[in-house]
Structure formats: structure tokens, C-alpha cells
Amino acid sequence: MSFYSDSNVKTRYFDPSTFVAGARASFELDGNDLAYLPNMRIFNIGMSNTNAGGTATYNRLVGALGVIQNIRLLDGKTELSSLNNAALYRGFLNVNKRNDEVASVNGRLARSQMGYEVSDDGIVVAPAQPTDTIGYITSDENTHNLGYLDLRDVFPMLASVSHLPTAVFKNLRIEITFISDMIGKTLVDPVTSGPAKGSRPVLGVDVLENPVIVNRLNKQLENASWMEIEHDRFRIPATATNGGAADQDVVQNTNVKINGFNNKRIQRLLMVKQLNDPAMWTANNVIDGFGIFGSQNLYKESLQIRVNGRNLFPRQGLVGSNERLASLTDNFGPMLSYPASNEQGVDSTNLVQRNIDYAGQLDYDGVLIGDYINDLQIQIGRTGTQDANVRKPNTAEIQVHCFAEIMKTLRLNKNGTYNISYVQ
């Protein structure tokens, strides 16, 4: 877009029209501007410490962006694009990259502390050590570590259009719902860090001010299509004794029908397996590992998906952690991984720093469906283990969050209205 090199574009910043710390924020764009470019972004996402003597640290996986629960882009009452359970999906995006990009770029923007390197003694360590304050929040506004979010990451619709003319989208609005119990879930040390509160975000947008350029772009804007990220979930119930001796080596198969994607065309499907009780992750007032935002490995997990009555995979389906990891990388691209990141019961003490805290917490399932859904069934199996620990991934209740790419389309009418629909 060559108009960036001249004075046709002006950057504007919006404070929220509504803001309740730790609850919600909304932004209303000015309908008097001619058009907005799609590279919208939000600054200052995260938390600030209200205790001058305290420090706190963001969850290592999601960073400052873990405070967002749901986010929506609207035009009046019409929803253009949205993402539910955004923090869980963001955790995946934060590791769905090469290691160098995770450590050097994404970690700085999201205020996460991911990315790894090998030390002199051959131990895999995280470059963001406690002496690196990238993930700290403080009471000093000049040193707050707040996050940056490119809204095209959560609103795929924005990546499919050249601009948003206000003659068509007259009442653009962004709504954010923040995660409940922000302190207890998104901070590593919620008790010892002292009181904290959600920070006030700022929206940045680029405005096209030249009517000649806007009119030319309007003539080219006829329709657009994109992959909306929609969410559904199901539950793997806890076993009867939940880690008792009777659970040892007992296979538990859960077969569920997912109705949230019926009559829609799915491309890729991502599954995040969540132990969603923060108490399971708390030891000595500190959250272990990635807490509720990781995707938990299940012992001897198997996965089979039935699409419209047929199995997606032959025989038993995907069996074994690395077979499922291969499916994930084949369909979603590079993944940050380290020894035992997707496996439990492996002694990686001499391979990974703090291996016990972070083992088996990046075990995502990702498959390609590429079909119109009339009936979608998921069968997932795990093998129980006798376990006296508070955290029992092989027998406790697991919430499985399904994020599906759903094909949607925008069609502009000659009278200046538009329709958004699912692709059949």
C-alpha cells in the first residue's frame, strides 16, 4: 500500500468508551472518518501492580494477553468477527512459531517468556530468566510490561479486506471481556505479588483521509472470505476413584458429538486439553508451569474423529504423543517444542531446566477436516494411573476446547449494505 509513504494515512488512538478494570472494555470508532485500514492493534494490555513494593510475573505461556477472555468486532449489532476463550487460543499461537521468533519477537510483544536455548552444560533453558523483567508487572507506569495485540490475529476477517469504509460499516465497535479472577489465573505468583488490577488498553488505528483513494478502494471491495475461529468444548469426566489404585492401567474412552459446528464447513480443528482448576496448579502460592492455559498430555492418548459417519484416520486413529505432534505440525506449521513438552512420565531432569513444572503441557491436537459438517464425533482415550498428586491429568476431569476454522464470506450489495454468511 503505497499511500503509507505520503500524508494520506493518519494514525489515531482511542481510549475505551467503557472500561471496568478486570471486567470489560469497549472501543467505539469515529464514523466521521472515511475509512479504517485493517491493521488495527491494541496497546497496554495486561495488569499493573497496586503495591509499590511488590512485583508479579505473567503466566509464562500467555503473557499479558492472558487477561482477555472474549473479544468481538461489531458494526452496530452485527458481529463481524469474534474469538471466544481467546487466552487459550493465544497460548497456542504463542508457540505456533519457530523458536527464534517466539523468543525474540512474539515474547516481547505478548510479554510471554517462551523460547529456549541450550546452555553450556547441554541443559535446555528459557532465555527469559528471573533477571529478565519482560514478564514483570510493577507499580511504576514507566516500567509496566504491557502487551501488544494485532487484531488480525483474533479477527481473521480483518486480514481479508483492504479497508473498512465507514459508508458501509457505520458503527464499528470492539468489545473485550476480561478473564475472571485475573490475578489468580494469569499471574505466576498471585498471592505473594501483592494486589494488582487490569490496565486500561488503548486502540490504535490507521485512517485513510484521501477520498480519491477511498473511492478507488471501494470499487474493488466486492466480497471477502476468511477462516473464522469458532469454539466449542466437551468434558472428559473424572474417573470414579480419580487416581486411586483401581485406576491403574484402565483405559477410559470418551465419545462425544460436537454440535457447535453443524451445518458449517470446517478446515482445521485444534484441540486444547485443559485442567481448568487453578488450585491444581498452585504450590506454595505459586502457579506451576503454564497453569490453566497449557494443553495437558494424557497418558497413552488416542484420538479418532468421525466426520459425517466416516473415520478421519485409519484403524485406532492417532496413537502416541509424537504421532499426534506430527499431525499438528503437518497442519498448523512449526511448533516450539522441547524434550517432554508433549509427554509425561519422562525423566528429562538432565535435559530441561525445571522439567517437572513444564513437562507434558504443550500437547495440542491439530487435524485437517476440510469438509461440510452434518455430524461430528470425537473419541479420545486415556489410560489411568494411580496418582496421589493434586494434579491428576490421567484421571481428573479435563475440559477439551475445540477451535475450528469455519469458512465465512462477506458480500457487499449495490445499495451499500452487506451480508455475512457461512460458506456451504
245 and 358 share one domain:
yes
CA-to-CA distance for 175 and 25, rounded, in angstroms? 6
155: pLDDT strictly greater than 70: yes
194 and 45 share one domain:
yes
In Å, what is the CA distance from 156 to each residue of 82, 160, 227, 262, 329? 9, 7, 6, 21, 21
Of the two residues 7 and 212, the one the predictor is more confident about is 212
Retrieve residue 395's grid coordinates: 484421571
61 and 167 share one domain:
yes
257 and 122 share one domain:
no
pLDDT tens per residue across span 119-143: 766 666 664 444 456 677 766 656 6
pLDDT tens per residue across span 278-312: 778 877 667 778 889 999 999 999 999 999 999 99
pLDDT tens per residue across span 199-244: 899 999 999 988 888 888 888 888 899 999 999 999 999 999 999 9
CA-to-CA distance for 400 and 303, rounded, in angstroms? 12
240 and 330 share one domain:
yes
Buried residues in 351-385 as b, exposed as e (16+ CB within 10 A): ebbebebbbbbbbbbbbebeebbeebebbbbbbbb
In this prediction, residues 350-357 reach a mean pLDDT of: 72
Residue 423 in domain: no
| Residue 100 binned pLDDT confidence (cut-offs 50, 70, 90) | confident
Q: Say what the pLDDT of residue 50 is.
A: 64
With CA atoms as reference, report the closest residue to 337 among 321, 317, 350, 318. 321
The CATH code of the domain that includes 274 is 2.60.120.730
Buried residues in 125-138 as b, exposed as e (16+ CB within 10 A): ebbbeeeeebbbbb
208 and 277 share one domain:
no
State which residues form the domain around 308: 226-407
Whole-structure pTM value: 0.92
145 and 216 share one domain:
yes
Which domain-ending residue is among 171, 189, 221? 221
Q: Say what the pLDDT of residue 6 is.
A: 65
CA-to-CA distance for 82 and 103, rounded, in angstroms? 28
Which domain-ending residue is among 221, 256, 282? 221
The CATH code of the domain that includes 150 is 2.70.9.10
Residue 415 in domain: no
Residue 422 in domain: no
55: pLDDT strictly greater than 70: no
Which domain-ending residue is among 188, 221, 254? 221
212 and 232 share one domain:
no
Residue 421 in domain: no
132 and 177 share one domain:
yes
Residue 97 in domain: yes
164 and 243 share one domain:
no
With CA atoms as reference, report the closest residue to 110 among 138, 135, 139. 135
Residue 418 in domain: no
Q: What percent of the chain has pLDDT over 90?
A: 56
274 and 181 share one domain:
no
Cα angle for residues 281, 229, 29 (degrees, 5° grid) = 100
User: Which residues are registered as beta bridge partners of 318?
Assistant: 303
* Total domain count, the chain: 2
In this prediction, residues 320-340 reach a mean pLDDT of: 92
304 and 163 share one domain:
no
Average pLDDT, the chain: 87
Q: Say what the pLDDT of residue 348 is.
A: 66
Q: Say what the pLDDT of residue 389 is.
A: 84
